Each structure stands twice: as structure tokens, then as C-alpha cells.
Amino acid sequence: MIEVKNINHTFLLGKKQKETALHVLKNISFSVEEGDILAITGKSGSGKSTLLNIIGGFMKPTEGSVMINETNVTNFNEGEFANFRLDNIGFIFQNFQLIPSMTAFENVELPLVFKGIPEKERKEWTTQTLAKVGLSDYHHHYPSELSGGQQQRVSIARTLVIKPPIILADEPTGSLDSETEQEILQLLRSLNKEMNITFLIITHDEEVARIASKKIHMLDGVVVKEEINS
């Protein structure tokens, strides 16, 4: 599903005459098979988020390649990657990134509008997806009227509604209390098993990493350890 090969990334800091090279990723290679949950762990500054941004198409690596669903996406331009994401990749963020002026239903429906799905199908898919995450009674609630856990469920529903084979999650429980975290982790596990969704999760939380089938630990831009969870 995902193959990352010899990824290097360097940021150039300062003015052109006095630029300093900051090597944030150093020869990163790994693969994620269909139906896997991969957790990428490491403390702040280890390069996790930069790596996720490269895989998600928001940054280009300095060197190396990324294959997703047997497609080399490394040199896609912004428009090409945006179209590719609509069919292949969903995202879950720590801070939910819901649109505050839109209801839960409207937030979830929005990706289908971008895809050009007819209104009747949009309404059906959105209703079904909100039910799947346990929010059938919250269609007309705005984000400010929802708890953190409910907002994350809306965020997950918005991702699920496009039926992506892959979901990239950046600290998906980082803004939640421990009880709500367990509820969201159980939801991710069930989606992985029931829908065979492949997850790549960035986290510093060992509790989150426990749901993964495979863990990669990063330090200073390098993969220093790989583990298979039993």
C-alpha cells in the first residue's frame, strides 16, 4: 500500500548567503502492507510530522520516493496530489480541523461535494457514516456544541465518507482525555478490522502505539528501531 524508499529531507534556514542546512530525515525506508496499522513514534523533533507531510503530499522530499497503491506520487504537483488524495487517502488530525460554521453533517458531507457526488448519494453516505461512528443524533450540532471526543468522531467520519483505503493520523488522541482516547482507539481498531483500512499513525503516546501491528521508532531523523506487535 505504501512504500517509502530512501527518503531524505533538508530544510535550508537563514538568508541565501548564509543558509544553514537542517537534515530532518535521513535515508528513511519502510513499507506498509494492506490492512496494517503502522505507528511511527518518537519525541518532538524526531522528524515524524515531516515524514507524514511527505507521504500525504504536502511536502516534497529532497531525495527518495513514495509509492502509494503502486503509484509513484513523489513528483505529483499540488493539483495531482489533491485529486489522488480524494480517492486514496484520508486524514485524522489532533485538533480535528472541523469548520466551525458548519454542522457535523455538513463537515462530513464536504469531501463528497469536492468529489462531485450527487446530492442524494451524499446525504445517504453522510448519514450512514455518522451512524458508523455513533453520531446519528448529532447531525445538526456545530463543533462548539460537541465534546472533544465527538469532534474527533466527526473528523473520522469526514475521513471515512470518501471510503479511503489508507488513513494517515497525526496524534489522533493528543487532545483527548484518557477515557475518550480509549474510545477513539477502539473505533480505529474496529475500522481497521471491519473495513480493512490501512492506518499510518504518528504518535508519541505508547498507548496509541499498542494498537499497531508494526512500530517504527524515530530519533533525530533516523529510524532507530522497528518492532512487530504480537
pLDDT in tens, 173-193: 988 888 999 999 999 999 999
Q: Average pLDDT of the chain? A: 92
Helix (H, G, I), strand (E, B) or coil at 126: helix
Buried b (16+ CB within 10 A) or exposed e, 49-64: bbbbbbbbbeeebbeb
* Cβ atoms 33, 68 nearer than 8 A: no
Mean pLDDT of 191-218: 93
Buried b (16+ CB within 10 A) or exposed e, 143-168: beebebbbbbbbbbbbbbbbebbbbb
Q: Residue 229: what pLDDT? A: 79
123 band by pLDDT with thresholds 50, 70 and 90: very high
Mean pLDDT of 220-228: 91
* Cβ atoms 214, 202 nearer than 8 A: no
60 band by pLDDT with thresholds 50, 70 and 90: very high
- CA 27, distance to chain mean position in Å, is 22
* Cβ atoms 90, 168 nearer than 8 A: yes
Q: Which residue has the higher pLDDT, 106 or 69?
A: 106
Q: Which residue has the higher pLDDT, 127 or 87?
A: 127
Lowest mean pLDDT among 15-24, 48-57, 187-196: 15-24
Q: Which three cell numbers stand for residue 181?
A: 482516547
What pTM was estimated for this model as a whole?
A: 0.90
230 band by pLDDT with thresholds 50, 70 and 90: low
Q: Which residue has the higher pLDDT, 175 or 99?
A: 99
Q: Which fold has domain 2-228?
A: Rossmann fold (3.40.50)
44 band by pLDDT with thresholds 50, 70 and 90: confident
150 band by pLDDT with thresholds 50, 70 and 90: very high
